[in-house]
């Protein structure tokens, strides 16, 4: 016990020393945030410009040459180019918006405005958590409103143009209202709890906050399929038949605790297709998109499921959860360094006394500090994104190999190619763009990996010479 308390004391000492160093009026926090945001934006534009070049390549990559008709290839190239152009515009817009918000001092102004509003409706200003919730709701409108226009444009112009959009305007509007209502009903109480835990735990808030966050995630896992998903989609049990038999047999063989097998009406909104599983360790649900069932033969659906169950067999979701929790832990730990940083508050135009909670005599508005802290460390997400993508990409190869090992190589290859064609995924990908943006390897990358994997018997005849080559090489190596 004494060694644990000395560790805590040690961490405490480090935190307060770092906090002293970071609370320095000479550090130009505001300029730092704008510069880092500019660097991130330039980086994103650079990566996009590399990918943009891929859309002028006239022919598909060799792995896809036999599968893509000229017409499909051209369509996929046009779709990719439109989507990327859209992303580039959005990235630039967000950068400008961020600078405008900081430079006009909108954040501190909104703090004062919401204080006046509280006066007006007779709320006591010392209720810092209520004030914080009003403030965050008001300031998030600055990004939520333009975002509505972007999403609208993406759905009804870009997806529509390429034939993917199945949403009606009425459905789209109801979706937005529901999303907004969920953000209010779940988001605000969560945030209030988050702030309350820090307020109550005081200096050593990190372990308590971790405990709180993990409990919230667990609760969400349970309530999402019961209360939230039905607001948007309908899940119906997969009817008896070939596909059901195959999936049940596969789950049985792998001892996957399959409780329910559903079809989701994904086609209501879009013709993109997918499959996934979720649930507690002892009781799992598998969900198949109706589009997946329409576009694939039963053996191909089974192969896609074998891939998904490969993720389960290798503990991929649990591993990703662990990575997410460690990310959360160090983020919160570092926040402890900045929570009372007066220079950070002052640099963004806030009264520095707010950093210790003095002007109105109430507790400190922790949310302001957390928002500024997030602004400062947002660029680090770039690295986190690289790291997590490198993990998930590795997991995809592993799951593919798992399905191949179960004898689904040929059907998996066929299903992946179909999926790629139906989704008009980009045939060419720039390496850096792909590593940065894609959680999944591209189809040519996956086909190449499957090709190299020794169990590969899925290849079409015209490519089988490659298998011979690989086999010969293996013999030599042995």
Please state, in angstroms and rounded to a whole number, the distance separating the CA atoms of residues 444 and 447: 5
61: left (phi over 0), alpha (psi -120 to 50) or beta: beta
Of 30, 302, 400, 422, the catalytic one is 400
CA–CA gap between residue 6 and residue 334 (Å, rounded):
20
To Zn ion, the closest distance from the beta carbon of 317 in angstroms equals: 11
Q: Give me the least distance between CB of 415 and Zn ion, in Å please.
A: 12
Q: For Zn ion, which is the closer residue by CB, 63 or 396?
A: 396
Dist CA 341 CA 338 (whole Å):
5
* Residues forming a β-bridge with 288: 263, 275
CA 148, 100, 106: angle at the middle one, nearest 5? 90
311 marked among binding-site residues: yes
Residue number with CB closer to Zn ion (286 or 367): 286
Instruction: Report, in Å, the least distance between residue 440 CB and Zn ion.
Output: 7
Nearest approach, Cβ of 396 to Zn ion (angstroms)? 5
Q: Which of 302, 308, 422, 445 does the annotation list as catalytic? A: 308
Q: Are 167 and 270 in contact (CB under 8 A)?
A: yes
> At its nearest, how many Å lie between Zn ion and the CB of residue 58?
31
Residue 109, annotated as binding a ligand? no
Residues at the interface with Zn ion (CB under 5 A): 396, 399
| Class of residue 232 by CB neighbours under 10 A (exposed 0-12, middle 13-18, buried 19+) | middle
Could you tell me the smallest distance in angstroms from the CB atom of residue 21 to Zn ion?
44
Is residue 33 a contact partner of residue 40, using CB atoms and an 8 Å limit? no
Closer CB to Zn ion, 46 or 315, in the complex: 315
Tokens 């954040």: give the residue: 107
**Which residue, 399 or 414, has its beta carbon nearer to Zn ion?**
399
Nearer to Zn ion, 54 or 275 (CB): 275
User: Shortest gap between Cβ of 326 and Zn ion (angstroms)?
Assistant: 22
Catalytic site includes residue 381? no
Residue nearer to Zn ion on the CB measure, 355 or 399: 399
Known binding residue 199? Answer is no
| Smaller CB separation from Zn ion, 258 or 399 | 399
Q: Which is nearer to Zn ion, 206 or 258 (CB)?
A: 258
Beta-carbon count within 10 A of 473 CB: 11
**In angstroms, what is the minimal distance from the CB of 118 to Zn ion?**
49
Residue 400 bears catalytic tag: yes
Q: Which residues are known catalytic residues?
A: 308, 400
What residue numbers does the annotated binding site for Zn(2+) cover? 307, 311, 396
**From the annotation, which residues make up the binding site?**
307, 311, 396
């Amino acid at each position: 016990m004494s060694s644990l308390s000395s560790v805590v004391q040690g961490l405490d000492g480090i935190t307060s020393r770092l906090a002293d160093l970071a609370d320095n009026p000479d550090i130009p926090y505001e300029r730092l945030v704008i510069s880092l945001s500019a660097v991130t934006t330039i980086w994103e534009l650079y990566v996009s410009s590399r990918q943009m070049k891929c859309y002028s390549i006239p022919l598909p990559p060799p792995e896809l040459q036999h599968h893509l008709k000229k017409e499909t290839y051209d369509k996929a190239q046009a779709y990719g180019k439109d989507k990327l152009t859209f992303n580039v515009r959005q990235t630039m817009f967000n950068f400008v918006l961020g600078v405008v918000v900081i430079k006009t001092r909108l954040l501190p102004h909104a703090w004062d405005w919401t204080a006046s509003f509280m006066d007006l409706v007779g709320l006591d200003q010392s209720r810092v958590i209520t004030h914080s919730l009003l403030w965050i709701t008001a300031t998030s409108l600055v990004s939520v409103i333009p975002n509505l226009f972007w999403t609208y444009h993406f759905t009804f112009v870009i997806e529509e143009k390429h034939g993917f959009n199945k949403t009606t305007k009425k459905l789209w509007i109801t979706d937005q209202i529901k999303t907004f209502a969920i953000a209010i009903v779940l988001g605000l109480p969560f945030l209030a709890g988050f702030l309350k835990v820090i307020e109550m735990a005081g200096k050593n808030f990190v372990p308590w906050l971790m405990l709180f966050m993990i409990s919230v995630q667990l609760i969400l896992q349970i309530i999402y399929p019961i209360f939230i998903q039905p607001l948007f989609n309908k899940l119906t049990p997969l009817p008896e038949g070939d596909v059901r038999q195959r999936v049940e047999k596969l789950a049985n063989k792998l001892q996957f605790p399959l409780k329910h097998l559903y079809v989701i009406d994904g086609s209501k909104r879009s013709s993109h297709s997918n499959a996934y599983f979720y649930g507690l360790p002892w009781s799992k649900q598998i969900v198949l998109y109706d589009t997946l069932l329409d576009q694939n033969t039963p053996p191909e659906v089974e192969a896609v499921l074998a891939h998904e169950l490969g993720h389960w067999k290798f503990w991929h979701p649990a591993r990703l959860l662990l990575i997410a929790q460690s990310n959360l832990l160090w983020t919160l730990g570092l926040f402890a360094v900045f929570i009372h940083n007066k220079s950070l508050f002052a640099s963004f135009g806030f009264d520095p006394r707010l950093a210790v909670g003095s002007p109105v005599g109430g507790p400190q508005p922790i949310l302001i500090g957390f928002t500024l802290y997030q602004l400062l460390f947002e660029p680090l997400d770039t690295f986190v994104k690289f790291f997590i993508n490198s993990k998930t990409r590795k997991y995809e190869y592993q799951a593919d190999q798992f399905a191949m090992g179960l004898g689904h190589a040929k059907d998996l290859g066929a299903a992946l190619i179909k999926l790629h064609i139906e989704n008009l995924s980009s045939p060419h990908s720039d390496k850096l763009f792909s590593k940065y943006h894609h959680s999944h390897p591209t189809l040519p990358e996956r086909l190449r990996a499957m090709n190299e994997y020794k169990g590969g018997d899925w290849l079409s005849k015209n490519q089988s010479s490659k298998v011979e080559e690989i086999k010969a090489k293996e013999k030599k190596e042995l």
